[in-house]
Every structure is written in structure tokens, then in C-alpha cells.
Amino acid sequence: MRIWLKNLNESHISSVVEIEQLCFRDPWCEQYIRETVMRSTVTAKVAEYGKDVVGWVVFEQLPHGQVQICTVGVHPERRREGIGTFLLFAAIDSLRTKKLSHLMADCRESNTAAHLFLAANEFVAVRIIREFYTDTGEDAFCFDYWEQDRPVNRIAKYLQAQEQKDVGHQG
């Protein structure tokens, strides 16, 4: 059986509430889910396997051309089957279609699976927000994904300039 990606609708709400509870220590409640997905800037997709919702993703287009992954979760019994990546692709696809600059995603310091998942999908850790999660005092790790025109960081630029200088000297 195949996994299908669908826009979230009313029939999916109870399943995504359950997935949130299975995935996070501070899950979104039904009311928060409803309020969030109603915003015109927000896209919510579910992954369906047969009649079962096995994962979901919510992302939001921000004013300066970025897309924020607000939540992404896969049912614990269906992990490591590529479903999380499939859901991320929905956000990457939206980035491409709308020609936006980059995707952003945050996760807890202790969420090693999320760190590895994002890194496996070419996200790069770019900053840390100290004590962001008030329940545990944990830091948030912020990751970015650039489809194109990724800014070269200053150290890379410096090394590149040094290399060119060395080549010049040799010549």
C-alpha cells in the first residue's frame, strides 16, 4: 500500500491530535491545531496509509520569504520508513513553487532523532536559543534548509580568498 499526502481536513483532526500526543511532550491541543491551520499563511498536510493518518506536517510562510516548519510528526509505529522525509518534501516543494528563500525548523536540544532527521535532509544547525522551552529550560536548536543561493559563511569566504591568493603567488 502507498503513502498519500493530503491537505488536512476535518476528518483528520482527531488523528493529528493523537499523533501530536504520541510525538511531543508539549503537544498541540485540538483548539490550537484548529486556530493554527485556519491562518491563511499556514499549510497543513497529512500522510495517509490506507485509511490511517500516519504523520502530519504544518508549515507557515513568513513575511520575508522564509517558511517555518511549525510541527512535523510521524506515528511511532511507522518511523524510519521515509514518512517524515515525505512530509518535509511538501514544505520543500512549496519553497520551490513559490520561489521562497529557505526553510526553518526548531527542535529541543535533547531531541536527537529530530537533529539527525533534519541533518539527513540537508538542514544545517544555524543558531541556538537559550532556555527556549520553559517546561524543561532546554535550548532550542534552529536549523535552516536553503534550496539555492545559500549564503557563504564568512570563514568559508576567508578561506576561499586565501586559497586564491596562494594560487596567485604560485603563478
Ligand X SMILES: CC(C)(COP(=O)(O)OP(=O)(O)OC[C@H]1O[C@@H](n2cnc3c(N)ncnc32)[C@H](O)[C@@H]1OP(=O)(O)O)[C@@H](O)C(=O)NCCC(=O)NCCS
Contact residues for ligand X, defined by CB under 6 A: 23, 72-74, 79-85, 105, 107, 111, 113-114, 116-118, 120
| Closer residue to ligand X, CB minimum distance, 37 or 83 | 83
| Closer residue to ligand X, CB minimum distance, 101 or 143 | 143
The CA distance from 75 to 68, in Å, is: 21
DSSP, residue by residue, 38-102: TSTTEEEEEEEETTEEEEEEEEEE-TTSEEEEEEEEE-GGGTTSSHHHHHHHHHHHHHHHTT--E
| Closer residue to ligand X, CB minimum distance, 127 or 161 | 127
CB count in 10 Å sphere of residue 135: 8
Regarding beta strands 52-61 and 138-146, do their DSSP bridges make them parallel or antiparallel, or are they unpaired?
unpaired
Helix axes 112-120, 83-97, angle to 10 degrees: 50
- We find the least distance from the C-beta atom of residue 42 to ligand X, in angstroms, to be 17
- We find the least distance from the C-beta atom of residue 167 to ligand X, in angstroms, to be 37
| Closer residue to ligand X, CB minimum distance, 56 or 61 | 56
- We find the least distance from the C-beta atom of residue 38 to ligand X, in angstroms, to be 22
- We find the least distance from the C-beta atom of residue 72 to ligand X, in angstroms, to be 5
Q: Do residues 5 and 49 touch, judged by C-beta distance below 8 A?
A: no
Q: If we measure between CA atoms, which residue out of 43, 122, 125, 33 comes closest to residue 85?
A: 122
- We find the least distance from the C-beta atom of residue 105 to ligand X, in angstroms, to be 5
| Closer residue to ligand X, CB minimum distance, 58 or 107 | 107
